[in-house]
Amino acid sequence: MQLLQTFSVLLASVWVAAAQSSVDQYITRMTPISKRGILANIGPNGANARNAQPGVVIASPDNDPDYRFFWTRDAALTYKALTEQFTSGEDTTLRPLIDDFARSTARFQALNTPSGSAASLESLGEPKFKMDISPFTEPWGRPQRDGPPLRATAIIGYANYLISTGNQTYVANTLWPIIKKDLDYTARFWNNTGFDLWEEVSSSSYFTTAAQHRALREGVTLAKALGQTAVVADYEKQAANTLCFMQSYWNPAGYVTANTGGGRSGKDANTILASIHTFDVSAGCDAKTLQPCSDKALSNLFQYVNAFRTAYALNSGIPANQAVATGRYTEDVYYGGNPWYLTTLAVAEQLYDALIVWKRQGSLQVTATSLPFFRTFSSGVTAGSYASNTATFTTLTTAVKTFADGFVSVVEKYTPANGALAEQYSRSNGTPLSATDLTWSYASALTAFAARDGYIPSSWGAAGLAVPATCERNTGGGGGNTVAVTFRAQATTVFGENIFITGSVNELQNWSPEAAVALSAASYPTWTVTVNLPANTRVEYKYIRKNNGVVTWESDPNRVLTTPASGTFTQNDSWR
Ligand SMILES: *[C@@H]1O[C@H](CO)[C@@H](O)[C@H](O)[C@H]1NC(C)=O
Ligand SMILES: *[C@@H]1O[C@H](CO)[C@@H](O)[C@H](O)[C@H]1NC(C)=O
Ligand SMILES: *[C@@H]1O[C@H](CO)[C@@H](O)[C@H](O)[C@H]1NC(C)=O
């Protein structure tokens, strides 16, 4: 009996060692593949990006779906990862590429775009450009307000390095004007609605607000270092406002609601990506900025992951304390709605970040909020603080590490033999789907692997923050203001038929024919309705007819209007 027990303990530890070494092997194999995958997508020397201007990152070389465009968000997150590799000394050859990125950013910032003019800064909310650095003018979910702050963060990381190596002149003369535009945009427009990172829902979005908050905080520190004191008061004030607003996304059911609009559960990789993007070891496990080890972030991760256990056939039969494939959100239908490599890896990264902090601070806190998460790994655990010399600390951190590695193992299982990371993998059988060689998938692999290795990114100012007692709006960009817009549509109808409107914003029900807003026939054949829409916002919409449940849409293209900064507005249309 004794012998048998010893033998099975031995077996178990051999098994754990084998499982870990498989993750280690995967990481060793995938690290150079991921790095090459990124570099191949950056112009003009990347094999997939010969036609792209210097510093321009294409999202993927795929032409179906056509991802051969520059997305500000994807590029900024990718360059953030590359800049960390450069400033940490891991790869000192990246400097010319990072300089290219800063130069291309200046060129993008000078363009007038469908999101607005460069003079008003509204152009900066444009999410997507052509690889020759010209605007993309077709209909799209715009503006997206996370691009400028993400880009500011990437370039500030480089600027801080240059200052520390005595090259303040280049930062002051070349980088600061670029960074300042993105921060001015962020300070002015954070309180306006925009499309989320998945380009589908126009409302307020946690990832966007968190990215804005971080950029403004580190922008203040950089501005002070450069003696650019004129911007400090405004950035500080708007940073406090965004921190305040961030708190409002918390759902007492135990997770962060990803978007204020969209009509979904709100459990979304958006919030996991926000937590890892704003990781700051100096803030410990502070929940105000959703630090990876905070009780709110762990509860949020737990609920997000669990939402996918039943969503995908791929996850069936996997026990509740083991990793599963995760996607953007369970209601997703894009390409059939599948797990994504970058969202599954983001879960691993958040947990690795949490482990870094617990080890550094030598303790781990279990609160009522994080209890359900920890109980998955140790059913008897209770709320309390566990020092690193306790058995509970060892049990929980070991289990969390195994859980985290599990997400890497899921990705490993569905990585094809050549190591190529597409955007998605099938919810039913795990085969790669949608865009091939997605730059962001590769970047997410590198940052998750670095976190597993204990890499600590530079602090950005998350420590010791106080949330203002009352949240203030910022009306500088029309933010939070609404305008009463009256839609007047000439339409003749048959008996039983009614006219409705739906469109790209929450207030117009995000293109939902079911929830579309009814117009009144009181002045027939003019149908009217007045809707409060966000000020200073570009809105796309269409009228629809409904007759006994049968929906008829107007012909293409979508109608477009831009609301004024204040007052009222009347729009006159005829059914098309
Ligand atoms: C400062 O950095 C820029 C960008 O890499 C470089 O072109 C310049 O030569 C550097 N200047 C000094 C004095 O190192
Ligand atoms: C603007 O800020 C206020 C205060 O935080 C908040 O209540 C409101 O929802 C915000 N609106 C947008 C669109 O960000
Ligand atoms: C629509 O018509 C009303 C009244 O006829 C007018 O006041 C308004 O300016 C028109 N709107 C536009 C955008 O032309």
Give mean pLDDT in consecutive 10-residue pieces for the chain, a chain of 576 residues.
44 52 95 98 98 98 98 98 98 98 98 91 96 96 96 98 98 98 96 95 96 98 97 96 98 98 95 98 98 98 98 97 98 98 99 98 98 97 98 98 98 98 98 98 98 98 97 76 91 96 88 93 96 86 95 95 87 97
Task: Note whether 185 and 310 are same-domain residues.
Answer: no
Task: Note whether 196 and 306 are same-domain residues.
Answer: no
Asked if residue 264 is part of any domain, the answer here is no
Q: Which ligand is nearest to the CA of 145?
A: 2
Angstrom CA distances, 134 to 69, 93, 120, 126, 260, stand at 10, 28, 18, 11, 32
Last residue within a domain, chosen from 435, 465, 495: 465
Asked if residue 257 is part of any domain, the answer here is no
Please state, in angstroms and rounded to a whole number, the distance separating the CA atoms of residues 450 and 349: 9
Task: Note whether 94 and 16 are same-domain residues.
Answer: no
Task: Note whether 326 and 177 are same-domain residues.
Answer: no
| Residue whose CB lies within 8 A of the most ligand 3 atoms, among 570, 571, 573, 574, for a mutation test | 570
Return all residues near 214 (Cβ < 8 A) that are at least 6 apart: 149, 153, 277, 278, 289, 460, 462
Quote the Cα angle for 193-151-71, to 5°. Answer: 75
Angstrom CA distances, 437 to 43, 121, 124, stand at 15, 32, 27
Task: Note whether 292 and 389 are same-domain residues.
Answer: yes
Residue 533 phi/psi, 5-degree rounding, is -110, 155
Q: How many CB atoms lie within 10 A of CB 458?
A: 15
Q: How many CB atoms lie within 10 A of CB 295?
A: 21
| Residue whose CB lies within 8 A of the most ligand 1 atoms, among 87, 170, 171, 173, for a mutation test | 170
Structure tokens at 145: 């307000």
Where do we find the tokens 């200052």? 163
Please state, in angstroms and rounded to a whole number, the distance separating the CA atoms of residues 385 and 391: 12
Angstrom CA distances, 24 to 170, 264, 401, 412, 440, stand at 40, 37, 13, 11, 21
Angstrom CA distances, 42 to 366, 416, 568, stand at 44, 23, 46
Please state, in angstroms and rounded to a whole number, the distance separating the CA atoms of residues 465 and 468: 10
User: What is the set of active-site residues?
Assistant: 196, 199
The number of the ligand 3 atom at minimal distance from the alpha carbon of 570 is: 11
Please state, in angstroms and rounded to a whole number, the distance separating the CA atoms of residues 43 and 352: 32
The residue range of the domain holding 547 is 482-574
Q: Is the CB of 475 under 6 A from ligand 2?
A: no
Asked if residue 276 is part of any domain, the answer here is no
Last residue within a domain, chosen from 227, 251, 275: 251
Please state, in angstroms and rounded to a whole number, the distance separating the CA atoms of residues 297 and 285: 9
Q: Is the CB of 191 under 6 A from ligand 2?
A: yes
Enclosing H/E stretch for 405? helix 391-413
Enclosing H/E stretch for 445? helix 439-452
Tell me the CATH number at 420.
1.50.10.10
Enclosing H/E stretch for 189? helix 176-189
Asked if residue 537 is part of any domain, the answer here is yes
pLDDT at 2: 43
Last residue within a domain, chosen from 421, 440, 465: 465
Task: Note whether 224 and 92 are same-domain residues.
Answer: yes
Amino acid, single-letter form, for residue 308: F
Please state, in angstroms and rounded to a whole number, the distance separating the CA atoms of residues 486 and 489: 10
Quote the Cα angle for 507-512-518, to 5°. Answer: 65
Q: Is the peptide bond before 432 cis (omega within 30 degrees of 0)?
A: no
User: SS3 sequence, 89-145?
Assistant: CCCHHHHHHHHHHHHHHHHHHCCCECCECCCCCHHHHCCEECCCCCECCCCCCCCCC
Q: Is 176 annotated as a binding residue?
A: no
Residue 572 phi/psi, 5-degree rounding, is -105, 120
Task: Note whether 53 and 26 are same-domain residues.
Answer: no
Tell me the CATH number at 540.
2.60.40.10
pTM listed for this prediction: 0.85
Task: Note whether 194 and 211 are same-domain residues.
Answer: yes
Asked if residue 108 is part of any domain, the answer here is yes
Asked if residue 406 is part of any domain, the answer here is yes
For ligand 1, the distance from its centroid to the CA atom of residue 172, given in whole angstroms, is: 12
Task: Note whether 200 and 121 are same-domain residues.
Answer: yes
Q: How many CB atoms lie within 10 A of CB 537?
A: 25
Task: Note whether 244 and 320 are same-domain residues.
Answer: no
Return all residues near 7 (Cβ < 8 A) that are at least 6 apart: none
Enclosing H/E stretch for 502? strand 497-503
Task: Note whether 293 and 370 are same-domain residues.
Answer: yes
Task: Note whether 89 and 110 are same-domain residues.
Answer: yes
Number of domains the chain is built from? 3
Asked if residue 169 is part of any domain, the answer here is yes
Asked if residue 259 is part of any domain, the answer here is no
Q: Is the CB of 244 under 6 A from ligand 2?
A: yes
Q: Is the CB of 570 under 6 A from ligand 3?
A: yes
